[in-house]
Chains A and B, each alone.
Chain A
Amino acid sequence: MLSVFANPARFMQLSGWAAPLFAVLALVLFAVGVPWALIYSPADYQQGETVRIMYVHVPAAWWSLAIYGFMGVASFVGVVWRHALADVAARAAAPIGATFAGLCLITGSLWGAPTWGTWWEWDGRLTSMLVLFIIYLGYIALWNAVEDEEKAARLAAILCLVGLINLPIVHFSVVWWSTLHQPASVFRPGGSAIDPAMMGPLFAMAFAYMALFGALLLTNMRAAINRRRVEAARMRGANAA
């Protein structure tokens, strides 16, 4: 399956229709998910209306973790098999993951203020999520700091693979330590603890984030491939002159 996308020309052909398709899907899902979350879903018996922040906060948290996992797999493939598009995919995903992680932290803070009485607490979940955001920024900075793209790709891949250690820390932080943040309430042994009326908008928004990630990832990868082509031609022109 991956070998189908190994050829940049074939990838450009496939992503040419897949990226707009994901973009339309994301728009439709947000158009359904946002009113569902804000108007049609019920208030919580304890948190009141503030529970609606869950529908933007939780998908941002899920996808910021999943995107980092995706970058880890792409980095591994890039280092081991030198797949033509693996480094491009990892680099293209980073700003999207960083944005999702940043939004998760901001919306979490906006949720924490009315429910916990504090904007921020240095507990396990919040701190490990902040570390994930900083790793994303470090990864992007490393790519931009090293001029030689081959070297930058190797160094960034190593950083990404080392940073993978933070994913289980984020996930299990609420189990390992006594935290202010609640434990897992959707994907947990014994089934979800969330009211079924809230699951619809939560998953509509989660799929909206996923579709948006698909559209932006493919668009970013297309930009990177075009940039490489243009810069390679410029270099050849400079060498010939």
Chain B
Amino acid sequence: MITGGWHFVVAAYAVTLGGLAVLAVTVALRARGWAKRARELDAKRSAEQ
């Protein structure tokens, strides 16, 4: 049986959870930015009408 090996396990979980967290934050920030611009567009349009 392979003994030890915890450092490989910790590295795998750190890379996975870190990678997924970075992906989630990037997607959320990008979506928030475009949602803000779309809201501004709607506000501008309703002000013009």
Q: Chain A: residues with CB nearer than 8 A to chain B?
A: 23, 30, 34, 38, 44-50, 52-53, 56-57, 60, 95-96, 99, 102-103, 106-107, 110-111, 113-115, 212, 215-216, 219-220, 222-224, 226-227, 229-230, 233
Contact = CB atoms under 8 A, between A and B. Distances in A.
Contacts of B12: 52-53, 56-57, 106-107, 110-111
Given A52-B9, A212-B20, A212-B24, A114 B30 contact: no
Nearest to B45: A233
A49 B23 contact: no
A208 to B, nearest CB: 9
Contacts of B9: 38, 49-50, 52-53
Contacts of A34: 13, 17
A226 B37 CA distance: 8
A113 B8 CA distance: 8
A230 B41 contact: yes
A-B complex: 10 closest residue pairs judged by Cβ atoms = A226-B34, A223-B31, A50-B5, A226-B38, A48-B2, A56-B16, A107-B12, A53-B12, A110-B12, A223-B34
Contacts, number: 102
B23 A95 contact: yes
Nearest to A48: B2
B23 A48 contact: no
Contacts of B27: 95-96, 216, 219-220, 223
A224 B37 CA distance: 12
Contact of A222 (B8, B17, B23, B35): B35
Chain B interface helix/strand/loop/mixed: helix
Contacts of B6: 49
Interface string B1-40: 1111110110111011101100110011011011101100
A99 B17 CA distance: 11
Q: How large is the interface on B (under 10, 10 to 19, 20 to 34, 35 or more residues)?
A: 20 to 34
24 contacts: A23-B24, A34-B17, A49-B2, A50-B8, A60-B16, A95-B23, A95-B27, A96-B27, A99-B19, A99-B20, A103-B19, A103-B20, A114-B2, A114-B5, A219-B31, A220-B31, A222-B31, A223-B27, A223-B34, A226-B35, A226-B37, A229-B41, A230-B37, A230-B41
A159 B28 CA distance: 27
A115 B2 contact: yes
A229 to B, nearest CB: 5
Contacts of A48: 1-5
Contacts of B31: 219-220, 222-223, 226
Contacts of A38: 9, 13
